[in-house]
Structure 1
């Protein structure tokens, strides 16, 4: 029974692909506007001026955080080595207290650095959301200009004509629309 279901699914998928190819051929042969458009959302964001500014700011902030982490790590290693040396001369009770304080310090610093990394991620997500909110009117305008019914994410489309990909036009349009707005700030 399972074999029949799998075979039916394969035929169903094959029929869908054949129907899409037939539809694509018919759309290409017609002189009427294309009813559906595709957009590569990642490229739309990353190649826009806004996206490039966000990526550059994020690279700078990430590099600064990595440098800070390396500096802190070096300081903690030196402090740990000094503590190890003190172990030889300190009474066990005193060493234990210093070791516990050092462990707490390491945990606190780890939590702080993790919070900074999360803030970077949250900032990236916020910037992307802001970009998409600003881009919706631009995409709506493009949709109207092309007299299309919808803009689909290119990565979710199995088969399409390259003629329906409006990513380059959308990048140019959003750059123009957002040119008057200030670049994203940290």
Structure 2
């Protein structure tokens, strides 16, 4: 959830661009709301594009965790073998092997930590791209309803019916952006295992 919170926080900057002073226009029919609200978390979770980001993040996280467990098991087994050799090898020879093992373990852990950071960065970038691509669509919805301000619904204490455009935004975003293209949004090169789809 920390990454999700960061993504939504960054997206708020893009959403803030929609808080604009729209030129006055003559309106016919029922009065329109000057202020509309939108639930960004629902937008990310319930659009096909946003759900795909969450799915790819989850799949990559599962694959990375599985790889980490496999590596840990192999290193543990190797460490036990090395411990057994300690009883039979001269001290200087054992020290060489132990130092080599420690160096390799440190390098492996650094590489896995880098994959974790890469995964987090890709997830953040994918969310940011999602919100950047949805801003023009949201702007059209706001202008089409004669409003001048769009706010995150989580910052609004109370609102009347009809001012929340989340559902309408989800429908239009799905129509316009679909799943966000064909290329993977999140992928960690070098993973030794990947989850299989059911």
State TM-score, norm by structure 2: 0.74
Question: What does residue range 155-166 of structure 1 map to in structure 2 within 5 Å?
Answer: 155-166=154-165
Q: What is the CA–CA distance in structure 2 between the aligned matches of 1:172 and 1:109, rounded to whole Å? A: 45
Deviation at 1:151, TM superposition (A): 0.9
* 2:89 corresponding residue in structure 1: 90
Deviation at 1:161, TM superposition (A): 2.6
Number of aligned residue pairs = 156
Q: What is the CA–CA distance in structure 1 between the aligned matches of 2:143 and 2:88, rounded to whole Å? A: 79
Structure 2: any 5+ residue segments left out of the alignment? Answer: 1-29, 188-198
Larger Rg over CA atoms = 1
Cα–Cα, structure 1 residues 180 and 65, in superposed 2: closer, same or farther, change >3 Å?
closer
Cα–Cα, structure 1 residues 183 and 45, in superposed 2: closer, same or farther, change >3 Å?
farther
Deviation at 1:53, TM superposition (A): 1.2
* 2:170 corresponding residue in structure 1: 171
Deviation at 1:82, TM superposition (A): 0.3
Deviation at 1:127, TM superposition (A): 0.7
Question: What does residue range 90-129 of structure 1 map to in structure 2 within 5 Å?
Answer: 90-129=89-128
Q: What is the CA–CA distance in structure 1 between the aligned matches of 2:37 and 2:183, rounded to whole Å? A: 26
Greater than 6 Å deviation, 4+ residue runs:
none
* 2:51 corresponding residue in structure 1: 52
Q: Which has the higher helix share?
A: 1
Q: What is the CA–CA distance in structure 2 between the aligned matches of 1:131 and 1:95, rounded to whole Å? A: 54
Deviation at 1:181, TM superposition (A): 5.5
Cα–Cα, structure 1 residues 44 and 183, in superposed 2: closer, same or farther, change >3 Å?
farther
Q: CA RMSD in A?
A: 1.6
State TM-score, norm by structure 1: 0.79
Residues 39-61 of structure 1: per-residue CA shift (max 9 Å, x gap): 11111011111111111111111
* 1:7 corresponding residue in structure 2: none
* 1:139 corresponding residue in structure 2: 138
Cα–Cα, structure 1 residues 72 and 91, in superposed 2: closer, same or farther, change >3 Å?
same
Structure 1: any 5+ residue segments left out of the alignment? Answer: 1-30
